Structure 1
Amino acid sequence: MAHTIVIGAGQAGAALVARLRTRGEEGPITLIGEELVPPYQRPPLSKAYLLGEMEQPRLFLRPESFYADHDITLRTGARVTGIDRAARTVTLSDGETLAYDRLALTTGSHPRRLPEAIGGDLPGVLAMRTLADADEMRPYLRPGNSLLVVGGGYIGLEAAAVAAKSGMKVTLIEAAARILGRVAAPETAAWFRDLHRAHGVGIIENTGLTRLLGEEHVTGALLADGREVACDVAIAGIGIAPATELAEAAGLTLDNGIATDLRGQTSDPAIWAAGDCASLPYRGQRIRLESVQNAIDQAEAVADNMMGAEADYVPKPWFWSDQYDVKLQIAGLNTGYDRVVTRPGEGAAVSFWYYCGDTLLAVDAMNDPRAYMTGKRLIEAGRSPAADQVADPATALKALLTA
């Protein structure tokens, strides 16, 4: 029987192997992950887990017994160093070689690191990507300590929110003109800037980092404008990059990640890819969707196609972020927008609707789940309500769906 190997034991890898068994795959399945623990949820790492509100076992996507019960060989603490496409084998760091008939790459992504030349390798300079990162951060999370966050994207803002809630003094610096510059409209950025400042977070925009300070441990930062900021710990929230090293070394086609077709196959028909590491065609462009839901949906679609479904994967982009008592829900992709329409919600709720011409592209909804769900349904149906209707709070959301 065909042996399926899945490299990368994150959300996508776990979803893929479970789906194969659900679909009736009888051949051997091996899931390989570098971390020592079973596949786990990442979003709670920078929120509930970091705050001590969730214990480690609750992070796990499934009990460890699930894999044995479903005849899935889970190899934790194992690193794949190479893929031989001609021989259809993978080699582990200890020299062991495993043969495959079908291979799936769900290798995810790596956090971008601050350069060593400016102190990025100092102790106390952390990322917020893995369980080990969160465990390293937890001891610092107490009143009286200070945190420096480098980068004003959602990762940095979430880390700032948790630290501020814990009583830490938080300073966030962003080299670009504003926070959320690559991912959100000025309206959304301004809303979150005000939210964080109301919670005592110092936000410094349009100011780069010259270097981190300290010898045996980070103690602060020298900014491009000459200011110094003291800190007990620093988090680099400067984005992520797809983990494509194995694919590149194996000669697979790369294009904004591991290039796949709509069914998840790479340039080698025996190799598939899903999750943060994979890019796919979407509305005339090639995209990667860095979200939990896409990792699950895309991985399950790949599993189905491995089993012969021959069905294109149609992504339905949506994302979320939790900061303080605010839940941000995002539907769609805002790439190419030329205007933003603001819709007030109940109380402090608000949503921002992105348009390109008359076409609705995306919605950012803050504590407004009804606006989010309405926008999501409209975008998935390819429908675009008139912008003036959206902006008018007298127009019921339900009416937008029937207009």
Structure 2
Amino acid sequence: MDPKRPVDGLRVLVIGAGSAGLLMGQVLKKAGIDVAVFEQDESPTARPQDWSFGVYWAQDRIQECLTPELNALIDTVQTDPSYRHHEASVLPIYNGVTGELLRALPAPHAIRLRRRPWLQLLRTGLDVRYGKRLASITTTDDGVSAAFEDGTTEHGTLLIGAEGAHSVTRAWLFRSSPADGALQRVPISAFAALTTLPAPTALALRAMPSTWFIAIDPRGVFTFAALHDCAPADPAQWTFMVLLTWPADEPDEQAALARDSDRLLDKMRAMAEPLAFPFDAMVRGIPRGTKSWYTDQMNYWLTKPWDGRGGRVTLAGDAAHALTFHRGQGLGNAITDAAELQTHLRAMKAHTREELTRAVAKYEREVWQRGRDVVAQNRENTLALHDWAQVTRKH
């Protein structure tokens, strides 16, 4: 297939149809720029596991990225569509063993969004193509070409790699010094499940002052729970996202947990035994056979400036700043990326290649500084939350 070259104006190729890629698609479309989004998954439902995102500080910037029509639909993709964000909302942090409230972090107008309907909303009006796994990138005099594993090639003025922490685009940008683009690891293991729970536990969680919260205990175990879907009339059919993290196990134990889901769930239940209600019940109530996610150590990438080949290739989202998740800042930073790019796109007068190159350069300068700062802060926070002495000292 011949590359599709822009005849008039600009064309942007976005790699990755997650939040970062689709938000970039929306702001480019709003700017009147031809944009296509390429996703390696075969369909929007190819990944069976769902989850939810918290937006704790970037809510106003969502408004910048989306049209009024899409902004009006955001409440419908919340984990609880009846919830209305407000100035006094907080993220509670409890002592998991005693149940004592350690602190209530201000989170004015915080919301949580269900991944699948959120991405469906973001796909509205965009040209999204599935089954497109990026194979290689080539820069040309008039732009950039992306070759995909299915044998097709696309050409554009700019390519934005937004395909997540394991970004092929980032690896290409740093191919002359691979270590500079490689993920680093934090010795913290993680478990997550989207699960139903017995009705009494579900009702107790729904009755908490906030339907998302954190519990920390002296062993260095971090527990997080959030309501995911409360649409069914029967509380036993509601779903919750339950997440635990802890100092990484020895390699043999990591390997055993990775291959044996029953052993993994048994370990989570044992970890929950010392916890107060409802923290213990929400872990011990996870049914056997529930699909779960496990990683032996968490990844991050400390943002470094990249050579975008004269404004032809850049990064966004986790590809630009892969974070550990304990501060819940992944989606907020993806939103900020798109909003920052839009700020510079608005300054374009004639939509020339030169103007787009300048807009990308300004965008990158902001992302490089913010990305480095936020990744470092998140790594420090992840380690601190598993050190009881640090938790209590800050408390």
TM-score between the two structures when normalised by the length of structure 1: 0.42
Greater relative contact order (Cα 8 A, min sep 6): structure 1 or 2? 2
Judging by fraction of residues, say which structure has more helix. Answer: 2
TM-score between the two structures when normalised by the length of structure 2: 0.43
